[in-house]
Homo-oligomer: A and B are copies of this chain.
Amino acid sequence: MSAANSIRIDLPDWVAGFERQLPESLETAEERMAVAISLAEQNVRHDTGGPFGALVVTEEGGQVVALGVNRVELQLCSAAHAEIVALSLAQRRMGSWNLAATPLGELQLVTSCEPCAMCLGAIPWSGVRSLLCGATKADAEAAGFDEGARSADWVEVLMRRGIDVRTRILREQAARVMERYTGSGRTVYNP
């Protein structure tokens, strides 16, 4: 057995250039979602992972804190979903495991598709105060993806923890990225 005792997940090289070209501020929910969808599209186009993108922004003003894309296959890590990558990078950049305790005020997670059971469970631990989603669980499943055992009242569960949720932001556009991916015969990994 190898002695490797560290896990490393890198964003693909193209993401740094993508980030530099973003506007200073993403004011509306739709502007924020367009970035998440664009990350998902670019991730497929560059062949650097699955059709999922996410970002962490400040609720006020929409300043980008970190970006994320799905990195499961290339980084050999089934937990490397776009949401986990964006949240973990945001925490690293802010120097805190708790995104509720940064100088930037309340932070928001924006994701191109409603979170799977794992990412849903990760959201309350992260410290974000709100969530914006694009495509729905039904869209993901229609495209062949497995979202896991997410309870029907997941929105209420997050709301009760003080995390505001809005979903179906640019839904059709977000769903199309997943459809095109599976329609092109790409792998939909599942153990």
Contact = CB atoms under 8 A, between A and B. Distances in A.
Nearest to A147: B121
Contact of A78 (B91, B120, B191): B91
Interface in A113-144: 116-122, 124-127
Contacts of A87: 78-79
A73 interface: yes
A7 B169 CA distance: 28
A100 B191 CA distance: 6
A82 interface: no
A77 B121 CA distance: 14
Contacts of A5: 10-11, 15-16, 89
Interface string A11-26: 1000110000000000
Interface in A76-108: 76-80, 84-85, 87-89, 91-93, 95-101
Contacts of A101: 191
